[in-house]
Amino acid sequence: MDKTVLKQRLKKQCIETPSWGYADSGTRFGKWVQNSAARTLNEKLEDAGQVQKYTGICPVVALHIPWDIPEDGNWDGVKEIADGYGVRIGAINTNVFESQEYKWGSFGHTDKAIRQKAIDHHIECIDIANTTGSYGLSLWYGDGSNYPGQVHFRRRRERFQECLVEVYSKLTDNLRMLLEYKFFEPAFYHTDVSDWGQSLLFCQAMGERAQVLVDTGHHPTNTNIEHIVATLMSVGRLGGFHFNNRKYADDDLTVGSINPYEIFLIFNELVDGELSDNEFIRGQANNVAYMFDQSHCLKNKIEATIQSAIFCQETYAKALLVDRAALYEAQENNDVLVAEEILKDAYNTDVRPLLKELREEMGVDPDPVMAFRRSGYTEAKAEERVKLHGVATGGGYQ
Protein backbone atom coordinates (compact mmCIF):
# COMPACT_ATOMS: atom_id res chain seq x y z
CA MET A 1 0.00 0.00 0.00
CA ASP A 2 1.23 3.49 -0.87
CA LYS A 3 2.71 5.24 2.18
CA THR A 4 0.46 8.29 1.80
CA VAL A 5 -2.67 6.13 1.61
CA LEU A 6 -1.43 4.06 4.53
CA LYS A 7 -1.04 7.15 6.69
CA GLN A 8 -4.45 8.43 5.68
CA ARG A 9 -6.09 5.23 6.87
CA LEU A 10 -4.07 5.21 10.10
CA LYS A 11 -5.09 8.79 10.85
CA LYS A 12 -8.74 7.76 10.58
CA GLN A 13 -8.36 4.90 13.06
CA CYS A 14 -10.72 5.29 16.02
CA ILE A 15 -10.70 3.25 19.21
CA GLU A 16 -13.32 3.66 21.95
CA THR A 17 -12.01 3.46 25.51
CA PRO A 18 -14.15 2.27 28.45
CA SER A 19 -15.02 4.63 31.29
CA TRP A 20 -14.69 1.71 33.73
CA GLY A 21 -11.10 1.20 32.59
CA TYR A 22 -10.17 4.45 34.35
CA ALA A 23 -11.72 3.41 37.67
CA ASP A 24 -10.46 0.95 40.26
CA SER A 25 -11.29 -2.63 39.34
CA GLY A 26 -10.17 -6.11 40.18
CA THR A 27 -11.57 -9.61 40.53
CA ARG A 28 -14.45 -11.25 42.35
CA PHE A 29 -12.05 -11.62 45.28
CA GLY A 30 -11.23 -7.96 45.69
CA LYS A 31 -10.28 -4.68 44.13
CA TRP A 32 -6.73 -3.36 43.71
CA VAL A 33 -6.77 0.39 44.21
CA GLN A 34 -4.81 3.28 42.73
CA ASN A 35 -5.18 6.70 44.33
CA SER A 36 -5.00 8.32 40.89
CA ALA A 37 -7.92 6.27 39.55
CA ALA A 38 -11.07 8.10 38.53
CA ARG A 39 -14.08 7.94 40.83
CA THR A 40 -16.59 10.19 39.10
CA LEU A 41 -17.82 10.50 35.53
CA ASN A 42 -16.06 13.84 35.16
CA GLU A 43 -12.76 12.30 36.25
CA LYS A 44 -13.19 9.36 33.86
CA LEU A 45 -13.77 11.74 30.96
CA GLU A 46 -10.78 13.81 32.07
CA ASP A 47 -8.56 10.71 32.06
CA ALA A 48 -9.93 9.61 28.70
CA GLY A 49 -8.92 13.02 27.38
CA GLN A 50 -5.34 12.21 28.34
CA VAL A 51 -5.39 9.01 26.30
CA GLN A 52 -6.68 10.94 23.30
CA LYS A 53 -4.09 13.68 23.87
CA TYR A 54 -1.18 11.22 23.74
CA THR A 55 -2.47 8.84 21.05
CA GLY A 56 -4.70 10.90 18.75
CA ILE A 57 -6.82 7.83 17.94
CA CYS A 58 -9.04 7.43 21.05
CA PRO A 59 -11.64 10.22 20.84
CA VAL A 60 -14.61 8.14 22.06
CA VAL A 61 -15.55 6.96 25.58
CA ALA A 62 -18.06 4.20 26.37
CA LEU A 63 -20.20 4.69 29.47
CA HIS A 64 -21.71 2.11 31.84
CA ILE A 65 -25.01 2.71 33.61
CA PRO A 66 -25.43 3.01 36.59
CA TRP A 67 -21.65 3.21 37.20
CA ASP A 68 -21.45 6.49 35.29
CA ILE A 69 -24.50 8.43 36.42
CA PRO A 70 -23.44 12.08 37.00
CA GLU A 71 -23.25 13.16 40.61
CA ASP A 72 -26.17 15.55 40.11
CA GLY A 73 -28.09 13.01 38.04
CA ASN A 74 -28.29 15.45 35.12
CA TRP A 75 -27.18 14.21 31.70
CA ASP A 76 -27.76 17.47 29.83
CA GLY A 77 -24.23 18.80 30.30
CA VAL A 78 -22.26 15.55 29.89
CA LYS A 79 -21.72 15.99 26.15
CA GLU A 80 -20.23 19.44 26.74
CA ILE A 81 -18.01 18.13 29.56
CA ALA A 82 -16.67 15.43 27.24
CA ASP A 83 -16.09 18.01 24.50
CA GLY A 84 -14.04 20.04 26.96
CA TYR A 85 -11.68 17.11 27.43
CA GLY A 86 -11.41 16.45 23.70
CA VAL A 87 -13.57 13.32 23.63
CA ARG A 88 -17.15 12.33 22.83
CA ILE A 89 -19.55 9.75 24.24
CA GLY A 90 -19.62 6.30 22.66
CA ALA A 91 -21.72 3.24 23.44
CA ILE A 92 -23.99 3.24 26.48
CA ASN A 93 -23.56 -0.06 28.34
CA THR A 94 -26.54 -1.40 30.24
CA ASN A 95 -26.23 -3.20 33.59
CA VAL A 96 -28.75 -5.87 34.57
CA PHE A 97 -26.37 -8.21 36.38
CA GLU A 98 -25.49 -6.54 39.71
CA SER A 99 -28.77 -5.82 41.51
CA GLN A 100 -30.20 -8.55 43.76
CA GLU A 101 -33.44 -8.80 41.77
CA TYR A 102 -31.39 -10.19 38.86
CA LYS A 103 -30.25 -13.24 40.82
CA TRP A 104 -32.34 -15.47 38.53
CA GLY A 105 -31.77 -13.38 35.43
CA SER A 106 -33.01 -10.22 33.77
CA PHE A 107 -34.63 -10.75 30.36
CA GLY A 108 -34.66 -14.48 31.09
CA HIS A 109 -36.32 -14.12 34.51
CA THR A 110 -39.55 -15.98 35.21
CA ASP A 111 -41.05 -12.90 36.90
CA LYS A 112 -42.59 -10.49 34.39
CA ALA A 113 -42.07 -7.57 36.80
CA ILE A 114 -38.31 -8.21 36.88
CA ARG A 115 -38.21 -8.43 33.09
CA GLN A 116 -40.08 -5.13 32.87
CA LYS A 117 -37.59 -3.53 35.26
CA ALA A 118 -34.77 -4.62 32.95
CA ILE A 119 -36.65 -3.29 29.91
CA ASP A 120 -37.19 0.06 31.65
CA HIS A 121 -33.46 0.28 32.37
CA HIS A 122 -32.70 -0.24 28.69
CA ILE A 123 -35.18 2.45 27.70
CA GLU A 124 -33.50 4.78 30.21
CA CYS A 125 -30.17 4.02 28.50
CA ILE A 126 -31.70 4.84 25.11
CA ASP A 127 -32.66 8.26 26.49
CA ILE A 128 -29.12 8.72 27.85
CA ALA A 129 -27.68 7.75 24.46
CA ASN A 130 -29.75 10.38 22.69
CA THR A 131 -28.94 13.07 25.26
CA THR A 132 -25.18 12.44 25.14
CA GLY A 133 -24.83 11.97 21.38
CA SER A 134 -24.06 8.25 21.59
CA TYR A 135 -24.45 5.93 18.60
CA GLY A 136 -26.22 3.17 20.54
CA LEU A 137 -26.37 0.56 23.27
CA SER A 138 -23.79 -2.10 24.16
CA LEU A 139 -25.47 -5.13 25.77
CA TRP A 140 -24.06 -7.95 27.88
CA TYR A 141 -26.06 -10.29 30.10
CA GLY A 142 -25.04 -12.55 32.94
CA ASP A 143 -28.28 -14.52 32.53
CA GLY A 144 -28.07 -18.30 32.64
CA SER A 145 -28.17 -21.23 35.02
CA ASN A 146 -25.74 -23.18 37.15
CA TYR A 147 -27.43 -26.59 37.50
CA PRO A 148 -29.10 -29.12 35.19
CA GLY A 149 -32.86 -28.81 35.23
CA GLN A 150 -32.73 -25.36 36.81
CA VAL A 151 -34.42 -23.66 33.85
CA HIS A 152 -36.50 -24.47 30.79
CA PHE A 153 -34.20 -23.50 27.92
CA ARG A 154 -36.81 -22.79 25.24
CA ARG A 155 -39.20 -20.84 27.46
CA ARG A 156 -36.31 -18.81 28.78
CA ARG A 157 -35.09 -18.05 25.28
CA GLU A 158 -38.57 -16.96 24.22
CA ARG A 159 -38.75 -14.51 27.14
CA PHE A 160 -35.29 -13.19 26.36
CA GLN A 161 -36.08 -12.58 22.71
CA GLU A 162 -39.39 -10.93 23.52
CA CYS A 163 -37.64 -8.41 25.79
CA LEU A 164 -34.88 -7.69 23.28
CA VAL A 165 -37.40 -7.09 20.52
CA GLU A 166 -39.35 -4.70 22.73
CA VAL A 167 -36.21 -2.70 23.54
CA TYR A 168 -35.26 -2.63 19.86
CA SER A 169 -38.67 -1.19 19.03
CA LYS A 170 -37.85 1.81 21.26
CA LEU A 171 -34.61 2.64 19.40
CA THR A 172 -34.53 5.96 17.61
CA ASP A 173 -33.30 5.83 14.00
CA ASN A 174 -29.84 7.16 14.90
CA LEU A 175 -29.05 4.32 17.31
CA ARG A 176 -28.04 0.67 17.03
CA MET A 177 -27.74 -2.23 19.46
CA LEU A 178 -24.56 -4.29 19.88
CA LEU A 179 -25.20 -7.65 21.56
CA GLU A 180 -22.21 -9.26 23.26
CA TYR A 181 -21.90 -12.93 24.17
CA LYS A 182 -19.96 -14.98 26.71
CA PHE A 183 -19.73 -18.74 26.94
CA PHE A 184 -19.64 -18.91 30.76
CA GLU A 185 -19.50 -16.87 33.98
CA PRO A 186 -21.40 -16.09 36.11
CA ALA A 187 -23.66 -18.82 34.71
CA PHE A 188 -21.59 -22.00 34.56
CA TYR A 189 -24.10 -24.59 33.28
CA HIS A 190 -25.70 -22.57 30.50
CA THR A 191 -25.60 -18.92 29.42
CA ASP A 192 -28.51 -17.34 27.55
CA VAL A 193 -26.26 -15.52 25.08
CA SER A 194 -23.36 -17.96 25.07
CA ASP A 195 -21.77 -17.54 21.63
CA TRP A 196 -21.85 -15.59 18.38
CA GLY A 197 -24.56 -17.84 16.96
CA GLN A 198 -26.93 -17.17 19.85
CA SER A 199 -26.21 -13.45 19.57
CA LEU A 200 -26.74 -13.50 15.80
CA LEU A 201 -30.11 -15.25 16.11
CA PHE A 202 -31.32 -12.63 18.58
CA CYS A 203 -30.05 -9.83 16.34
CA GLN A 204 -31.86 -11.27 13.34
CA ALA A 205 -35.06 -11.36 15.37
CA MET A 206 -34.65 -7.70 16.34
CA GLY A 207 -33.75 -5.99 13.07
CA GLU A 208 -30.97 -4.62 10.87
CA ARG A 209 -29.60 -2.21 13.48
CA ALA A 210 -28.94 -5.04 15.94
CA GLN A 211 -25.42 -6.42 15.52
CA VAL A 212 -23.05 -8.82 17.25
CA LEU A 213 -20.34 -7.52 19.59
CA VAL A 214 -17.25 -9.75 19.73
CA ASP A 215 -15.14 -9.74 22.90
CA THR A 216 -11.82 -11.40 22.17
CA GLY A 217 -11.71 -12.88 25.69
CA HIS A 218 -15.17 -14.46 25.53
CA HIS A 219 -14.22 -17.66 23.73
CA PRO A 220 -12.93 -21.09 24.67
CA THR A 221 -9.19 -21.54 24.15
CA ASN A 222 -8.14 -21.94 20.51
CA THR A 223 -11.39 -20.59 19.07
CA ASN A 224 -10.79 -19.19 15.57
CA ILE A 225 -12.04 -15.65 16.21
CA GLU A 226 -10.92 -14.37 12.80
CA HIS A 227 -13.26 -16.90 11.18
CA ILE A 228 -16.14 -15.59 13.30
CA VAL A 229 -15.23 -12.06 12.22
CA ALA A 230 -15.32 -12.97 8.53
CA THR A 231 -18.62 -14.82 8.90
CA LEU A 232 -20.40 -12.00 10.73
CA MET A 233 -19.04 -9.46 8.27
CA SER A 234 -20.35 -11.46 5.34
CA VAL A 235 -23.91 -11.26 6.69
CA GLY A 236 -23.72 -7.62 7.80
CA ARG A 237 -23.90 -8.31 11.53
CA LEU A 238 -20.43 -7.47 12.83
CA GLY A 239 -21.12 -4.51 15.08
CA GLY A 240 -18.07 -4.07 17.27
CA PHE A 241 -15.13 -5.40 19.24
CA HIS A 242 -14.10 -5.47 22.84
CA PHE A 243 -10.36 -5.91 22.39
CA ASN A 244 -8.44 -7.55 25.22
CA ASN A 245 -6.42 -10.73 25.77
CA ARG A 246 -6.83 -13.76 27.96
CA LYS A 247 -4.56 -16.55 29.10
CA TYR A 248 -7.12 -19.03 30.44
CA ALA A 249 -10.59 -17.53 30.19
CA ASP A 250 -12.03 -14.03 30.39
CA ASP A 251 -8.96 -12.49 32.04
CA ASP A 252 -9.48 -9.09 30.36
CA LEU A 253 -5.73 -8.56 30.04
CA THR A 254 -4.40 -5.68 27.95
CA VAL A 255 -4.69 -6.37 24.24
CA GLY A 256 -1.65 -8.02 22.67
CA SER A 257 -0.15 -9.06 26.00
CA ILE A 258 -0.61 -12.81 25.42
CA ASN A 259 -1.16 -13.67 21.77
CA PRO A 260 -0.41 -10.68 19.53
CA TYR A 261 -0.45 -12.77 16.33
CA GLU A 262 -4.08 -13.71 16.98
CA ILE A 263 -5.01 -10.01 17.08
CA PHE A 264 -3.09 -9.47 13.83
CA LEU A 265 -5.08 -12.24 12.14
CA ILE A 266 -8.30 -10.61 13.34
CA PHE A 267 -7.19 -7.22 12.01
CA ASN A 268 -6.23 -8.91 8.75
CA GLU A 269 -9.87 -9.97 8.25
CA LEU A 270 -11.13 -6.53 9.23
CA VAL A 271 -8.80 -4.78 6.79
CA ASP A 272 -9.70 -7.27 4.09
CA GLY A 273 -13.28 -6.13 4.57
CA GLU A 274 -12.36 -2.44 4.59
CA LEU A 275 -10.56 -2.81 1.25
CA SER A 276 -13.10 -5.16 -0.33
CA ASP A 277 -14.44 -4.56 -3.84
CA ASN A 278 -17.84 -5.56 -2.46
CA GLU A 279 -19.62 -2.36 -1.42
CA PHE A 280 -21.76 -4.14 1.19
CA ILE A 281 -18.76 -5.75 2.89
CA ARG A 282 -16.74 -2.53 2.69
CA GLY A 283 -19.52 -0.52 4.31
CA GLN A 284 -19.93 -3.11 7.04
CA ALA A 285 -16.21 -3.27 7.84
CA ASN A 286 -15.82 0.49 7.99
CA ASN A 287 -18.66 0.79 10.50
CA VAL A 288 -17.28 -1.59 13.14
CA ALA A 289 -16.91 -0.02 16.60
CA TYR A 290 -13.47 -0.79 18.04
CA MET A 291 -13.47 -0.78 21.85
CA PHE A 292 -11.39 -1.94 24.79
CA ASP A 293 -12.78 -3.97 27.69
CA GLN A 294 -9.79 -4.61 29.91
CA SER A 295 -9.18 -4.97 33.63
CA HIS A 296 -6.31 -2.58 34.33
CA CYS A 297 -6.07 -3.64 37.96
CA LEU A 298 -2.27 -3.87 38.08
CA LYS A 299 -1.07 -1.40 35.44
CA ASN A 300 -1.64 2.33 35.67
CA LYS A 301 -5.09 2.96 34.19
CA ILE A 302 -4.13 5.56 31.62
CA GLU A 303 -0.76 4.06 30.72
CA ALA A 304 -2.35 0.67 30.09
CA THR A 305 -4.99 2.21 27.83
CA ILE A 306 -2.36 4.12 25.87
CA GLN A 307 -0.28 0.94 25.59
CA SER A 308 -3.29 -0.94 24.21
CA ALA A 309 -4.06 1.82 21.72
CA ILE A 310 -0.47 1.79 20.45
CA PHE A 311 -0.59 -1.98 20.02
CA CYS A 312 -3.82 -1.76 18.01
CA GLN A 313 -2.32 1.03 15.93
CA GLU A 314 0.77 -1.07 15.17
CA THR A 315 -1.30 -4.14 14.38
CA TYR A 316 -3.68 -2.23 12.13
CA ALA A 317 -0.68 -0.83 10.24
CA LYS A 318 0.74 -4.33 9.76
CA ALA A 319 -2.61 -5.62 8.48
CA LEU A 320 -2.71 -2.73 5.98
CA LEU A 321 0.72 -3.82 4.70
CA VAL A 322 -0.46 -7.29 3.67
CA ASP A 323 0.08 -7.79 -0.07
CA ARG A 324 -3.55 -8.67 -0.79
CA ALA A 325 -3.16 -9.30 -4.51
CA ALA A 326 -0.39 -11.82 -3.84
CA LEU A 327 -2.34 -13.34 -0.96
CA TYR A 328 -5.48 -13.83 -3.07
CA GLU A 329 -3.42 -15.43 -5.83
CA ALA A 330 -1.78 -17.84 -3.39
CA GLN A 331 -5.17 -18.70 -1.90
CA GLU A 332 -6.71 -19.38 -5.31
CA ASN A 333 -3.74 -21.58 -6.20
CA ASN A 334 -3.92 -23.42 -2.86
CA ASP A 335 -0.34 -22.39 -2.16
CA VAL A 336 -0.47 -22.78 1.60
CA LEU A 337 3.14 -21.91 2.33
CA VAL A 338 3.24 -18.71 0.26
CA ALA A 339 -0.09 -17.51 1.68
CA GLU A 340 1.16 -17.95 5.23
CA GLU A 341 4.51 -16.31 4.47
CA ILE A 342 2.73 -13.25 3.03
CA LEU A 343 0.88 -12.79 6.33
CA LYS A 344 4.01 -13.39 8.39
CA ASP A 345 5.99 -10.93 6.28
CA ALA A 346 3.51 -8.16 7.09
CA TYR A 347 3.31 -9.19 10.75
CA ASN A 348 7.10 -9.12 11.14
CA THR A 349 7.43 -5.65 9.63
CA ASP A 350 8.68 -3.06 12.10
CA VAL A 351 6.09 -0.28 11.75
CA ARG A 352 7.29 1.74 14.74
CA PRO A 353 9.39 4.23 12.70
CA LEU A 354 6.39 4.84 10.44
CA LEU A 355 4.11 5.43 13.42
CA LYS A 356 6.54 7.82 15.06
CA GLU A 357 6.56 9.81 11.83
CA LEU A 358 2.75 9.63 11.73
CA ARG A 359 2.42 10.92 15.30
CA GLU A 360 4.65 13.87 14.59
CA GLU A 361 2.38 14.76 11.66
CA MET A 362 -0.64 14.46 13.99
CA GLY A 363 0.96 16.63 16.66
CA VAL A 364 1.33 13.70 19.06
CA ASP A 365 4.49 12.76 20.95
CA PRO A 366 6.36 9.94 19.16
CA ASP A 367 6.53 7.95 22.43
CA PRO A 368 3.02 8.27 23.95
CA VAL A 369 3.41 6.15 27.10
CA MET A 370 6.66 7.75 28.21
CA ALA A 371 5.43 11.21 27.29
CA PHE A 372 2.39 10.70 29.50
CA ARG A 373 4.53 9.34 32.33
CA ARG A 374 6.84 12.38 32.11
CA SER A 375 3.85 14.73 32.31
CA GLY A 376 3.33 14.03 36.02
CA TYR A 377 -0.42 13.72 35.51
CA THR A 378 -0.71 10.53 37.59
CA GLU A 379 1.04 12.01 40.60
CA ALA A 380 -0.91 15.25 40.39
CA LYS A 381 -4.25 13.49 40.12
CA ALA A 382 -3.44 11.07 42.93
CA GLU A 383 -2.80 14.02 45.26
CA GLU A 384 -5.85 15.93 44.02
CA ARG A 385 -8.24 12.98 44.23
CA VAL A 386 -7.10 11.84 47.67
CA LYS A 387 -7.81 15.35 48.96
CA LEU A 388 -11.20 15.29 47.25
CA HIS A 389 -12.34 11.72 47.99
CA GLY A 390 -9.95 10.31 50.56
CA VAL A 391 -7.58 7.38 50.13
CA ALA A 392 -8.94 4.77 47.70
CA THR A 393 -10.34 1.64 49.33
CA GLY A 394 -10.89 -1.89 48.09
CA GLY A 395 -14.11 -3.81 47.66
CA GLY A 396 -15.87 -5.94 45.09
CA TYR A 397 -15.36 -6.02 41.38
CA GLN A 398 -16.52 -3.20 39.14
CATH number of the domain enclosing 217: 3.20.20.150
**What's the pLDDT at 32?**
85
**What's the pLDDT at 26?**
73
> 36-83: per-residue pLDDT in tens?
999 999 999 999 999 999 999 999 999 999 999 999 999 999 999 999
Distance (Å, rounded) from C-alpha 269 to C-alpha 158?
34
Q: Is residue 265 part of a domain?
A: yes
**What's the pLDDT at 397?**
41
Q: Is residue 158 part of a domain?
A: yes
Q: Is residue 325 part of a domain?
A: no
Looking at the structure of the chain, the number of domains it has is 1
**What's the pLDDT at 295?**
80
The domain in which residue 311 lies consists of 9-320
Q: Is residue 84 part of a domain?
A: yes
Q: Is residue 364 part of a domain?
A: no
Q: Is residue 104 part of a domain?
A: yes
Q: Is residue 378 part of a domain?
A: no
Q: Is residue 142 part of a domain?
A: yes
Global pTM value: 0.96
**pLDDT beneath 50: ranges in the chain:** 395-398
**What's the pLDDT at 394?**
58
